[in-house]
Structure 1
Amino acid sequence: MDIRHLTYFLEVARLKSFTKASQSLYVSQPTISKMVKNLEDELGVQLFYRNGRQVEMTDAGQTMYTQASEIAQSFQNLTNELNDLMNVKKGHIRIGLPPMIGSSFFPNVMGEFRQQYPDVTFQLVEHGSIKVEEGVEDGSLDIGVIVLPANDKIFHTYTIIKENMKLVTHPSHPMAGREEVHLADLREESFIFFREDFVLHSRILNECMNAGFRPNVIYETSQWDFISEMVAENLGIGLLPERICRDLDPEKVKVISLNPSIPWHLGVIWRKDRYLSFAAREWLKHTKSYVWDAE
């Protein structure tokens, strides 16, 4: 048994498919099947059984998965630490970003970091905060940017943005001329929401419930610009972060403060119990200093 056996086994278990595992690892399916069969023969147990087109782990496979995950992570930690000791300023960083902030904040951060570390590569994954947090927790992402708060038992975190949500209406809306609107006044409105895999979905829903009503949601999306465009067509109202509202066309939509305010605090997270590569730690340091300088 070697680390490749464990790597192939873990990928098949994660994707529940030999075919998908082979595509993910860029290894032929027969090679992966052979490696897993060798592992089963060596251990004397069956690790997978087929369930239609998918494969599922047996009881022995579940036990193997727990132990193999720890071994694979330890091996990765060892590799990263040895690279750091050799001062190899290369690396690959997997970062999860919410779609609404990726384009407006991080290009400058990435650009400056690349000038200092041109050999570091990035994999940027755009998801809502819920999926980003899941990715950092399960190890498929090194670092994530999410809407706070985060689980402080699992993650290190620091805040990069502290703002509030704003109401966005069509210019002809009866409330468009106000400077502030009470959330309870929106009970009869049609809302355009973020999808359920966005923290803002549940947060706005809960705030509306606290104000005494359940919002009438007519559309859900993962894109903030879709929300603003739908509002501009007078199809409903939306709630968007202050930072996003600054870039909206005042001729097409009106931005109004909410009472009570709904906070939108963004933070960077990473696992407390997982080793971070030199490149990832340098990126965190760079991003933190960039935010402080901006403040």
Structure 2
Amino acid sequence: MKTLDEIPGELTHAAEMAERTIKLNILSASEMITDIVILYKERCPEVNFQLSQKIDNKDWDIRVSTVIQDDNTKTTHTVLKEEIYLAVPIDSPFAERDNINLEEVHNASFICHDRTKPFSILTTGWCMSCGFEPKIVFESDSPSTVRDLIGAGMGVAFWPAYSWGTQRSSKVKLLHITHPNCTRQIYVARKNEKSSSPLKNDFYNFMTAYLNDLQ
């Protein structure tokens, strides 16, 4: 009987937890979105986040991606156009410049993201459009790892301007790519607005405002 008496309270607690929980599926810009989550937690410490990075995950409230998926149960908005730099070692001859044509590094070794990820597929396409397939020597999704390997002279890499931010190393130089046009769109999608809680809508507005302020 005591257990039965506790059930209504447990159900109420579970409902309250669900109301305060935001499910984020982060398929792009994970470093930047993590920063946004931390800032929002400082503002609203009572909120809980469930984070995932699975393309096939359907159980989410908000998704961040560089690809729009055709699904009528959500609304999608382009909130950020992001330039992609080429990061080169500071002792590279290219480091004396501010701009580069991608064709000029056709013989270079590349440090890239996981080849199955959308960003890597996108950057490989840019290289192919310039007549070469990138020679990949290492794969990593960690900005610090990529930065350190470039600084050690292991190769060059594509560097998202906002997602990874300004690299903090005197051994690496970021170059604007003049050809081809190396930019991407970051999309934020959320489930049907009518079924969202005020807290989820508030976080969505907080995140999109943060991203729009970067431009």
Tell me the secondary structure at the aligned position of residue 95 of structure 2. coil
Q: Counterparts of 1:246 and 1:267 in 2: how far apart (Å)?
A: 21
For these two proteins, the number of residue pairs brought into alignment is 197
Aligned to 1:254: 173
> What amino acid sits opposite 1:164 in the alignment?
E
Alignment of 1:134 onto 2:63:
no
Q: Which letter maps to 1:183?
A: L
TM-aligned CA deviation for residue 265 of structure 1: 2.5
| Contact 2:65–2:186 (8 Å) recurs in 1 | yes
Instruction: State the alpha-carbon separation in 2 of the partners of residues 111 and 157 from structure 1.
Output: 27
* Counterpart residue identity of residue 157, structure 1: T
- For 1:267 and 1:104, locate their aligned partners in 2 and report how far apart those are by CA, in whole Å: 17
CA contact (8 A) 1:90 1:119 kept: no
The secondary structure found in structure 2 opposite 1:164 is strand
Alignment of 1:174-253 (within 5 A): 174-243=93-162, 244-249=164-169, 251-253=170-172
Contact 1:109/1:290 (8 A) holds in 2: no
Cα shift at 1:242: 1.3
1:168 corresponds to: 87
Q: Among residues 72, 75, 78, which one is paired with 1:156 in the alignment?
A: 75
- C-alpha deviation, 1:277, in angstroms: 3.7
Residue of structure 2 in register with 1:108 after alignment? 39
Judge conservation of contact 1:168–1:253 (CA < 8 Å) in 2.
Answer: yes
Distance in structure 2 (CA, Å) of the matches to 1:89 and 1:235: 46
Task: Indicate if the aligned counterparts of 1:89 and 1:278 stay in contact, CA closer than 8 A.
Answer: no
How many Å separate the matches in 2 of 1:255 and 1:246? 9
Give the match for residue 24 of structure 2. 95
Aligned 8 A contact 1:162 1:265 in 2: yes
Higher RCO (CA 8 Å, separation ≥ 6 residues): 2
Does residue 270 in structure 1 map to residue 193 in structure 2? no
- Alignment RMSD (CA, Å): 2.9
2:49 match: 122
Give structure 1 stretches of 5+ with no counterpart: 1-82
| Overall identity of the aligned pairs, in % | 20
- The structure whose Rg is larger is 1
Matched to 1:150, the amino acid is I
Q: Residues of 2 paired with 1:107 and 1:264: CA distance? A: 25
Deviation (angstroms), 1:185? 1.2
Instruction: Pick closer, same or farther for the CA change 1:294–1:219 going to 2, 3 Å.
Output: closer
Which ranges in structure 2 are unaligned for 5 or more consecutive residues?
1-14
Q: Which amino acid aligns with 2:25?
A: G
Counterparts of 1:2-17 in structure 2, within 5 Å, are: none
Contact 1:180 1:258 in 2 (8 A): yes
1:282 aligns with 2:205: no
Deviation per CA, 1:126-158: give whole Å up to 9, x if none.
x3xxx3x432xx22x2211122x4124444222
Distance 2:82 2:71 in 1: 25
Q: TM-score, normalised by structure 1?
A: 0.59
Deviation at 1:267, TM superposition (A): 2.3
Cα deviation, residue 282, structure 1: 2.8
One-letter amino acid matched to 2:31: M
Kept after mapping to 2: 8 A contact 1:166/1:245: no
Hey, what's the Cα distance between the residues in 1 that align with 2:18 and 2:124?
45
Comparing both structures, which one devotes a greater share of its residues to strand?
Answer: 2
Offset, 1:294: 5.8
